[in-house]
Structure 1
Amino acid sequence: MHYHRIPHSSLEVSALGLGTMTFGEQNSEADAQAQLDYAVSQGVNLIDTAEMYPVPPRPETQGQTERFIGNWLAQRGGREKLIIASKVIGPARNNDSEIRPNQKLDRKNIRDALDASLKRLQTDYLDLYQVHWPQRSTNCFGQLGYRWDDKAPEITLLETLEALAECQRAGKIRYIGVSNETAWGVMRYLALAEKHDLPRIVTVQNPYSLLNRSFEVGLAEVSRYEGVMLLAYSCLAFGVLSGKYLHGAQPAKARNTLFSRFTRYSGEQAGKATAAYVALAQRHGLDPAQMALAFVRQQRFVGSTLLGATSLEQLKINLDSLDITLSDELLAELNAIHQVYTYPAP
């Protein structure tokens, strides 16, 4: 395993991290513990979760992912060797994301969310605490067409940052990050931190894959000059880049088969792009999923590539992508496909 030092922090994260949003929905607690055991045995030290998980969110299962991880931590020990990251959700975007009444990214909500996460995870602190999505209305989760809103934000970024700073001073979190954020949002957080002597965000967790390279447009430059590294998620685009959904296939127990809400990477252009990427991998004798993960891992702005798996076998295949280094020639062929399907999915 390779490790990356996250700028402006003492965090050294594994090049491949473990995403856990299926724990408690598609994965049982026994499945979760097996995945955690294997990932750590292979050198993974970054475990990423969220108060909202598992996904799709349901009141009956909310928080179950953190509980599974907490039970595993209590049984296995070695907390100090791991980097545990969680997230506080932003305002409710639809009926199934309501966790607290009048959900906001203010002091009370952040404090309550963090304390609940720490209790479920059975730990006194988090290494990284992230804002899951912004308070303001902006483009994320595949949205396009920016909607101009003349209303002032109900909660400002400064209020959110001050609340996170209080949690850091209390020793409950070591570092802070954001997720599903824009270049403007990241730069604004950094400016506020400098102006008001508050902690700076050190990571941004956004989607990044062969089907969604939007991070490269503005945020990659922010990463380069400000040292805010990407924790890349959805690197297989909900599993689409493995090729398992090609030609209308609906494999049993797969996420897109089970849950109709996951349509972000299921459009016609995404299907054509995926077919081209899979064919390229096959011509080079590569597993399509491993090629897609290697592409993400080799980007210089990526601090860690988060892996999500619904089976231990799938996790093993994904972790083995660490052994693959894509040649300049193959990267050129990937970019040639990208030129044809530049934006197949947001």
Structure 2
Amino acid sequence: MQMTKLGRTDIEVSKFCLGSMTWGTQNTTAEGHAQIECALDAGINFVDTAEMYPVNPLSAETQGRTEEVIGDWFAATGRRNDMVLATKHSGEGITYVRDGGPITAASIPQAIDGSLARLKTDYIDLYQFHWPNRGSYMFRKNWLYDPSAQDRAETIQNIEDCLGALQIEVDRGRIRAFGMSNDSAWGLTQWANAAERVGGPRIATVQNEYSLMCRMADTDVAEACHNEDIGMLSFSPLATGLLTGKYQGGAVPDGSRLSLSPELGGRKTPRAFEAVAAYLGVAEKHGLDPVHMAMAFVRDRPFMASAIFGATTMAQLTHIIAGADLVLSEAVMADIDTAHRAHPMPY
């Protein structure tokens, strides 16, 4: 398993990261624990979660259950130090999490209190903000994205205040590193610049969607990551299952994400299936498993720290792990480039 360090920290993680957002709805506690142990046995030491998980569906009744699944595993096994654990502070808009309030210096210790209690641990390795207060163009909001209503002074002040609160948590030993999620190149540079200006933990990572089907990060975010030593963590590297090919021809497998989310968060479009067909063709031409090809492509992007994947079955998990050593040839990359140029923004 390839390993790397997060940003300028000394935290070493596997370049595959186990996502957990289905534990507590689509997956039982026992299944979540089995996935953790299978991943650790394969050399994956990195697990990502969030205080708002599980999903499918999100609800007030289940909020926090995923962290509890992980906490129960820590309590049962005593293996906290075997895992690099990332979780997230929800932002504005989730009404049942701190009444839907924004991320502030005051909300940070409250959110960490809750996560630590559910996780049954006294520290979090990577603490992330799930989305910036000013909003985000992720999740198909890019089509109508308009930042003109943002208040720059308010954003900068909030960043500085939050860095102060985060530094207190670092000093207390409750978090080791800080990262953003669903942020832009401008946002990343503001976090990096503010840490140099006023102190606080320097941003180490950004968790944004990235896959063969969603490559918005290739330009500005990639440049920010390179120049500011920020490692990208990709979510949905298999495009919510589209790149497996299992939804081609109108198929909707029982229990699949498509069966629970009929539009796949705006990803289900005719152009998406055309793009999938092109990438499946590349994999077939070169004798590759399409899942392994998609994961290897994301993992080896020069700005990528780790590719976060989820699995609802043990068979899916072991299948992904089986391709962990694949490195794509120049010929495969050339054909991927051709497919990307033909299908640049399929959803």
State the TM-score, normalizing by the size of structure 2. Answer: 0.95
Where does residue 286 of structure 2 map in the other structure?
284
Where does residue 236 of structure 2 map in the other structure?
234
Structure 1: which 5+ residue stretches go unaligned? none
Percent of aligned pairs sharing the same letter: 39
Structure 2: which 5+ residue stretches go unaligned? none
Where does residue 53 of structure 1 map in the other structure?
53
The reply on whether 1:138 has 2:136 as its aligned counterpart is yes
Where does residue 267 of structure 1 map in the other structure?
269
Of the structure 1 ranges 155-164 and 308-317, higher mean CA displacement relative to structure 2 is found in: 155-164
Q: Note if contact 1:86-1:129 (Cα within 8 Å) is conserved in structure 2.
A: yes
Q: Which of 111, 114, 117 is the equivalent residue of 1:113?
A: 111
Shift of 1:140: 2.0
Give the number of aligned pairs: 342
Q: How big is each residue's C-alpha offset from its partner over 1:175-230, in whole Å with a ceiling of 9 and x where there is no partner?
A: 00000110000000011110102211101111110000111111111121111011
Query: Residues 307, 150 of structure 1: CA spacing in aligned structure 2 closer, same or farther, 3 A cutoff?
Result: closer
Q: Which of 323, 333, 343 is the equivalent residue of 2:325?
A: 323
Query: Residues 97, 292 of structure 1: CA spacing in aligned structure 2 closer, same or farther, 3 A cutoff?
Result: farther
CA–CA distance in structure 2, aligned partners of residues 342 and 150 of structure 1: 29
The reply on whether 1:89 has 2:94 as its aligned counterpart is no
Where does residue 5 of structure 1 map in the other structure?
5
CA–CA distance in structure 2, aligned partners of residues 296 and 264 of structure 1: 21
Where does residue 171 of structure 1 map in the other structure?
173
Shift of 1:232: 1.1
Where does residue 70 of structure 1 map in the other structure?
71
CA–CA distance in structure 1, aligned partners of residues 66 and 267 of structure 2: 24
CA–CA distance in structure 2, aligned partners of residues 236 and 151 of structure 1: 32
CA–CA distance in structure 2, aligned partners of residues 151 and 285 of structure 1: 49
CA–CA distance in structure 1, aligned partners of residues 48 and 95 of structure 2: 19
Query: Residues 321, 258 of structure 1: CA spacing in aligned structure 2 closer, same or farther, 3 A cutoff?
Result: same
SS of residue matched to 1:18: strand
Superposition map of 1:179-218 within 5 A: 179-218=181-220
Shift of 1:323: 2.3
CA–CA distance in structure 1, aligned partners of residues 216 and 206 of structure 2: 14
Query: Residues 315, 337 of structure 1: CA spacing in aligned structure 2 closer, same or farther, 3 A cutoff?
Result: same
Q: Note if contact 2:237-2:309 (Cα within 8 Å) is conserved in structure 1.
A: yes
Q: Note if contact 2:139-2:265 (Cα within 8 Å) is conserved in structure 1.
A: no
Where does residue 146 of structure 2 map in the other structure?
147
Shift of 1:259: 2.3
Shift of 1:270: 1.2
What's the Cα RMSD here?
A: 1.5
State the TM-score, normalizing by the size of structure 1. Answer: 0.95
- Read off the aligned partner of 1:98 and give its amino acid letter: Y
Superposition map of 1:22-37 within 5 A: 22-37=22-37
Shift of 1:261: 5.6
Where does residue 39 of structure 2 map in the other structure?
39
CA–CA distance in structure 2, aligned partners of residues 8 and 322 of structure 1: 25
CA–CA distance in structure 1, aligned partners of residues 34 and 79 of structure 2: 16
